[in-house]
Amino acid sequence: AGAFETIRQALSDADSPDEWQAAFSSATALLAEAPDPAVVAWLTARSAVAGPTRPWALRALVVAHDALDAVWAAEAAARTLSDDYAATEHGRAGLAALVRLAVARGAEDDALDALADFAAGWPDSDEVVGAASLVATAFPGTSAWDAVQSGSLR
């Protein structure tokens, strides 16, 4: 619990964008390996309050919920990121997570829809190509497969 207490303290003490990014990135890495219910609860409370740390909390929650096999909660956090922070890197992260989560649960139509949203919102992102490759590998013969094979993503 020592590492999580340190992360919780760092999250509470951070007061600038660089500190938030560092603290939430550290929390996310730990939560991916061993989600701590107390940290998840703290992040959930933080994500419910408007402010500069909200998108960071949502990003960490995507990972934590996914690690807990709470896919619908992970997707809800990712959708909130993609909707509420659409034109930001947080929105980009939300869209990328929606693609990955849909693929992980074998939902081809959802994966294709998320990929289409991702490509529309971030047409020049290298991550779109990676996401399309992920979808194409999971669901050969789809439009994503065709796009990857033809190189038409760019």
pTM of the model: 0.84
Average pLDDT on 91-97 reads 96
What is the per-residue pLDDT for 78? 98
Average pLDDT on 101-122 reads 93
pLDDT of 92 strictly over 90: yes
The overall average pLDDT reported for the chain is 86
- Which residues are within 8 A (CB) of 22 and not within 5 positions of it... i.e. 6 or more apart? 10, 14
pLDDT tens column, 50-85: 988 899 889 999 999 999 999 999 999 999 999 999
Helix (H, G, I), strand (E, B) or coil at 51: coil
Average pLDDT on 85-110 reads 95
Q: What is the spatial distance between Cα 147 and Cα 154, in angstroms, rounded to a whole number?
A: 9
Tokens, residue 134 = 């992920």
Q: Is 69 left (phi over 0), alpha (psi -120 to 50) or beta?
A: left
Helix (H, G, I), strand (E, B) or coil at 143: helix
Average pLDDT on 42-55 reads 90
Helices within 48-125 (DSSP H only): 54-67, 71-84, 89-104, 108-121
pLDDT of 104 strictly over 50: yes
Q: What is the spatial distance between Cα 20 and Cα 74, in angstroms, rounded to a whole number?
A: 20
